[in-house]
Structure 1
């Protein structure tokens, strides 16, 4: 189960990295349209949530510490927040539908929230690898923070 946790956490991390690429594809597609973000939406609203839930599930099945299970679930919550941030940004346009400074600032939070989710997944992936890597003597060891064995 621990190797499965490592695999699914790495796949989750890859899906998050791909999400930034797909956002750039949408941003650089000409002519600009909402369809340009279709792959970004599918990855962010289907693939990433499934992988983050699987990561938490495998962490629980691998008998990982509760902290790791909670950290594995955190990106799911951050992903749920993403469309809400995007809707708030879109709703913050002026009467003619033009972006406002407030809307652009809120839109920037969408990217920042994504960066936080990636950072959390990096930590989850590292912790999963440490959990799966047995130390001499046959016991597995997890270091949540440097110098803090769990």
Structure 2
């Protein structure tokens, strides 16, 4: 199960990398419409949360230490925060839906939080590797 924890964490990290690509696709799509960020939205609202839950389950089943399980839960919380930040950024647009200074600042926090969550997942990956290596080493 520890190997599964490592593999699922690697998949989660890979999907986060794709998420940045999908955000860039949305940003550079011309003309940009509601569908420009469809891949980014679907991945962020469905795929990543499901993978976060699967990663948590694998950590628990791998009997990871409580600190590691807690670290594994953190990305899910940060993903929920991502959705809240995006909603808040949209709430600060003007009546016509155009960006305001406040909406752009809050939207920038969405990107910063995305970077933070990737760093946390890298930490989870490091812990999953240690856990897997501990099983493979002779006693």
Query: TM-score, normalising length from structure 1?
Result: 0.87
User: What is the number of equivalent residue pairs in this alignment?
Assistant: 138
The 5-angstrom pairing of residues 1-150 of structure 1 reads 1-134=1-134, 136-138=137-139
CA deviations 1:73-106 (Å, max 9, x no partner) are: 1111111111211111111122333211111000
Task: Work out the CA distance in 2 between the residues paired with 1:136 and 1:88.
Answer: 48
Q: Which has the higher contact order (CA 8 A, sep 6+)?
A: 2
Query: TM-score, normalising length from structure 2?
Result: 0.94
Q: Which runs of 4+ in 1 moved over 2 A?
A: 94-98, 134-138
Root-mean-square deviation (CA, aligned residues, Å) is 1.2
Task: Work out the CA distance in 2 between the residues paired with 1:98 and 1:136.
Answer: 58
Task: Work out the CA distance in 2 between the residues paired with 1:56 and 1:48.
Answer: 12
